[in-house]
Amino acid sequence: MRNIFTILFLLNAIGLSAQQDFRKTYFPLINKAELHLVKEEYVEASQAYFSAFSVTKTPLIRDLYNATVCKLYQNDFEGAKLYLFKMAQRGVKPETLEQRGIFEVGYNTEAWRNFKPSYEQFFEPKELNDFLKYHLSNLAILQERYFENSSIDFVHMPVGAENPTHAITMKDYIKITYNDSSQLERDKMVKYTLKEAEMEMKKSKATVEELLEEAKGILLLVFENPMALNEGNSQLEIFHRNDHDLFSFLRFFKFNHDRRALKEGTVNDFLNPSEKDYIDEKLQGAVYKGYLSPQVAVSQSSEREIPEKIKVTSFTLTIENSTECGKEFDDIENIRFLKKNVLTSDEQKEYKKIKDKYGLESLDDRFKKEVFGIDKNKYFILNTRSSVESSVVPNCEVAQKMLAGATIIQD
């Protein structure tokens, strides 16, 4: 018997050691493909995607989508069909692809119209397992109850009186103030003494805190289920039916808890340090197994602050008083430039640690994608966070300061 257990242990250890780390196999190839997209080298990008997909039976939907668009840019609809079939089997609705307008690329609209019946034949709606259906449905109920209880507020009556004698709910006050309510409806409205209103508010607050604690318990439990982390939100459409997505619930309850804490003048995170570590480990494990992209994983982690600082801003600059501008401003009516949000040396070191944990791309590669995302990208999904801004400055001196270290765009 002891020998049998020894053999089973060894076989299990061999199986674990043989499991590939997607941070070192799959995602570097995806990064290589995306860098080719940035350069508009679609043949090379297709080759890199093909290499990435050869190491797994279940590539991420986002990557299948990007590989499809890459084929469409080559006007190779036949080559795109393989990826389209895979997306159909993974539950991506045809309407989603149409809404993104990708078949305009390479004039493939007619080819898609002919192929769509086949796509619909292969389409398999994405279904949650019973565990997730149950717990995510409970989170949806808690979210609804949170709205109901957190919206309870009172207006002292008579309004503006020095010594109000009673109160009505804000909901009722809005009804009588902004709607055409009858006298009978007004008489039916519940009036509270000031003490009763205060007690109702305390009761509501206590209920909200209980709801948040219950939600946290369910969220931590749901993170145990691999399917909950399997792509999370596919980034093409809401992955789970009826908006039942683990990450959307995590963001909702965390945001509302932290916002309430700040209102009270305290800093009280939704998750304590050990719970944050637990979720971070689950997210890292999902990337390791290829369930989740590094970018989406880190965006849900407690370590997202520094990666989210990496962005590029595209400015359009207008100078109010341009009479004293020198030759450095050839076209003062239309100054467009890109500016990186540069990380400090300490932040760069921290990013390196986070990069290794989650399998993120290098800073240089990230910035290349950000520039592409803001200036040229229309169809690919590259998780860029960059933005476009317009600024008006009083004179050329201020403009020169803004332009320091920027990349001027020539139209």
Q: What are phi and psi of 335, to 5 degrees?
A: -95, 115
Kindly report, residue by residue over 175-231, the tens digit of the pLDDT: 777 766 677 766 667 788 888 878 888 888 888 889 999 999 999 999 998 888 887
Contacts of 213 by beta carbon, 8 Å cutoff, 6+ apart:
none
Number of separate domains in the chain: 3
Kindly report, residue by residue over 132-171, the tens digit of the pLDDT: 889 999 999 999 999 888 767 788 888 777 888 888 877 7
Is residue 89 located within the same domain as residue 188?
no
Domain membership of residue 369 as a residue range? 307-409
Last residue of a domain, one of 233, 265, 299: 299
Q: What SS3 class is residue 168? A: strand
Give which of 180, 143, 176 is closest to 159, Cα–Cα.
176
DSSP for 379-390, written as a single string: S-------EEEE
Give which of 317, 314, 311, 305 is closest to 280, Cα–Cα.
305
Give which of 291, 228, 386 is closest to 22, Cα–Cα.
291
Is residue 151 located within the same domain as residue 261?
yes
Q: What SS3 class is residue 193? A: strand
Last residue of a domain, one of 76, 103, 122: 122
* 242 pLDDT above the threshold of 50: no
Is the distance from CB of 375 to CB of 340 less than 8 angstroms? no
Is residue 63 located within the same domain as residue 203?
no
Q: Which of the two residues, 151 and 124, has the higher pLDDT score?
A: 124
Is the distance from CB of 354 to CB of 297 less than 8 angstroms? no
Last residue of a domain, one of 238, 273, 299: 299
Is the distance from CB of 336 to CB of 411 less than 8 angstroms? yes
Q: Mean pLDDT score of the chain, rounded to an integer?
A: 84
Residue with tokens 């890459």: 70
Q: Alpha-carbon distance 365 to 374, whole Å? A: 15
Is residue 246 located within the same domain as residue 295?
yes
Is residue 225 located within the same domain as residue 196?
yes
Kindly report, residue by residue over 354-409, the tens digit of the pLDDT: 999 999 999 999 999 999 988 789 999 998 888 888 888 888 888 888 777 777 76
Is residue 150 located within the same domain as residue 260?
yes
Helix (H) or strand (E) holding 337: strand 335-340
* 315 pLDDT above the threshold of 80: yes
Dihedral sign for Cα atoms in the order 248, 253, 258, 259: positive
Is residue 55 located within the same domain as residue 165?
no
Is residue 245 located within the same domain as residue 390?
no
* 116 pLDDT above the threshold of 60: yes
* 262 pLDDT above the threshold of 60: no
pLDDT band for position 244 (50/70/90)?
Answer: low
Please state whether 192 falls in left (phi above 0), alpha (psi between -120 and 50) or beta.
beta
Helices (H), 123-193: 130-150, 170-178, 183-188
Is residue 344 located within the same domain as residue 236?
no
* Residue 287 pLDDT: 95
Whole-model pTM: value is: 0.81
Is residue 110 located within the same domain as residue 74?
yes
User: 192: which strand partners?
Assistant: 167
Helix (H) or strand (E) holding 101: none
Pairing of strands 387-395, 312-321: parallel
How many angstroms separate the Cα of 26 from the Cα of each of 96, 138, 172?
26, 35, 57
* Residue 35 pLDDT: 98
How many angstroms separate the Cα of 403 from the Cα of each of 263, 328, 388?
38, 11, 15
Is residue 284 located within the same domain as residue 141?
yes
Give which of 392, 397, 234, 238 is closest to 318, Cα–Cα.
392
Is residue 295 located within the same domain as residue 392?
no
Edge to edge, what strands does the sheet with 154-157 contain? 154-157, 166-169, 192-193
Please state the rounded mean pLDDT for residues 49-57: 96
Is the distance from CB of 268 to CB of 261 less than 8 angstroms? yes
Which of 32-46, 206-220, 263-277 is predicted least confidently? 263-277
- Hey, what amino acid is at 196? E
